[in-house]
Amino acid sequence: MAEWIHVAAAHECPPGSVIEKLAGDRIVAIANVDGSWHALDGLCAHQGGPLGQGSLCGTTLTCPWHGWEYDATTGQHCTAVTVRQQSFPIEDRDGQLFVCVHASTAPSDLTVERS
pTM assigned to the model? 0.86
Quote the pLDDT of residue 83. 96
Quote the pLDDT of residue 101. 87
**Mean pLDDT confidence for 31-56:** 96
CB 89 within 8 A of CB 98: no
Residue 51 — φ and ψ, nearest 5°?
-60, -35
Within 10 Å of residue 8's Cβ, how many Cβ atoms?
18
The counts of H helices and E strands in the chain are: 0, 10
**End-to-end CA separation in angstroms for the chain:** 32
Task: Spell out the domain ranges in the chain.
Answer: 4-100
Could you tell me the pLDDT band of residue 105, with boundaries at 50, 70 and 90?
Answer: low
Quote the pLDDT of residue 102. 80
Quote the pLDDT of residue 80. 93
Residue 115 has pLDDT above 90, yes or no: no
4-100 folds as Rieske Iron-sulfur Protein (2.102.10)
DSSP single-letter state for residue 25 = T
